[in-house]
Amino acid sequence: MKSNQVTIKDIGRELGISPSTVSRALKDHPDISTETKKAVNALAEKLNYQPNIVALNLRQQKTNTIGVIIPEIVHFFFSTVISGIEDVAYQAGYNVILAQSNESYQREVTDMKALFNSRVDGMLLSLSRETTNFDHIESIISKGVPIVFYDRMYESPTSSKVIVDDYAGAKEAVLHMIDQGCKRIGHLMAAPNLMISIDRFKGYEDALLERKMKVNKEWVTECFSGTFEEGKRATKKLLSLPNPPDAIFANNDPMAMGAMMAIKEKGLKIPQDIAIVGFSNWFFGEVMDPSLTSVDQPGYEMGQEAARMLIKQIEMKGKGEPIIETKILKTKLIIRNSSLKKGKEK
């Protein structure tokens, strides 16, 4: 950036007036005469003057930038969240600077520090899978930077969050499986320290209990990384049990797909022998064979909502207490063939 860029001073010099006058003229300040304004605007136009935002940022102690920490960019759900964030930030005149934690706690910590040092006005955060200590977050908050959690959060009383009703979504999915006549429903759980894993597991459990079915620990596998491969591996293990499940509820769609793969390789039929339901409704679930029943999570809306809440907090700053709110978005069960043992219900 060797600035051959026009500044307010250049304009002033050219017109024989001071920088302050130019500044005011550009902002249509009443103190400035119409002629001066005209001259300034004309010259600014002609020289293609663009205000230096960095200088502005320094002056106003505000960067109009929000930092987004995302566990993994190459991930259908998260990428839709980013898209939602980006869209509302753009409309509100904010930049978004993106940092990827890669599911690493260490990286999350350094990312947050870096964002803080860049003086972002606020942060949007979804915890990494490894994160179990929250000091780095509290420290940022205590410095007055507003944080809004999305999707993966911990119970912090001082931040807003927008999440999805994982519990209800999971429960609905499992009830659906029961309605389809599944008797032995297994669950591929994800990283057990994440609330989303726990909530989905609880939904699974409560659906079973509600229908007076017992929860068989054997049929529940913890898959820390939550990947396709892990889903496949875990499913193979489940299938080799003496009393294997006749249905699997997976914590996410890639694992569900891994399960489908394992089942097909074993020569079993979906959903006749084993029904499958996933979570997140990755867009290609529709296109699988059989098409995958899944719990749809509104990622784009989540991104939008989180960005809106954050920007509201940023702009409320100094004007009264911040409003801490928690927004829970509804999921929607998308029923497709992988779970339709009986044919369409309802």
**Contact residues: a copy of itself, CB under 8 A:** 1-5, 50-55, 57-58, 61-63, 65, 73-76, 79-80, 82-83, 86-87, 90, 95-100, 111, 113-114, 116-119, 121, 143-145, 228, 257, 260-261, 264, 282-284, 287-289, 317-318
Amino acid occupying residue 228: F
DSSP state of 150: E
Helices (H), 93-227: 105-117, 135-142, 166-179, 195-210
> What percentage of the chain's residues is helix, strand, coil (to nearest 5)?
45, 15, 40
Candidates 21, 80, 159, 304; binder of DNA (CB under 7 A) is 21
For residue 115, the minimal CB distance to DNA (Å) is 16
User: Is residue 55 near DNA by the rule CB under 7 A?
Assistant: yes
Q: Residue 86: name its binding partner from a copy of itself, DNA, none (Cβ under 5 to 8 Å by kind).
A: a copy of itself
User: Is residue 65 near DNA by the rule CB under 7 A?
Assistant: no
Candidates 28, 45, 60, 80; binder of DNA (CB under 7 A) is 60
Q: Residue 318: name its binding partner from a copy of itself, DNA, none (Cβ under 5 to 8 Å by kind).
A: a copy of itself
Q: Residue 19: name its binding partner from DNA, a copy of itself, none (Cβ under 5 to 8 Å by kind).
A: DNA
CB 142 within 8 A of CB 167: no
- Our CA angle for 110, 116, 120, nearest 5°, is 130
Nearer to DNA, 3 or 240 (CB): 3
What SS3 string covers 1-14?
CCCCCCCHHHHHHH
User: Is residue 47 near DNA by the rule CB under 7 A?
Assistant: no
Nearer to DNA, 17 or 324 (CB): 17
User: Is residue 16 near DNA by the rule CB under 7 A?
Assistant: yes
Q: Quick one: how many helices (H) and strands (E) in the chain?
A: 12, 12
Strand duo 326-329 + 160-164: pairing: parallel
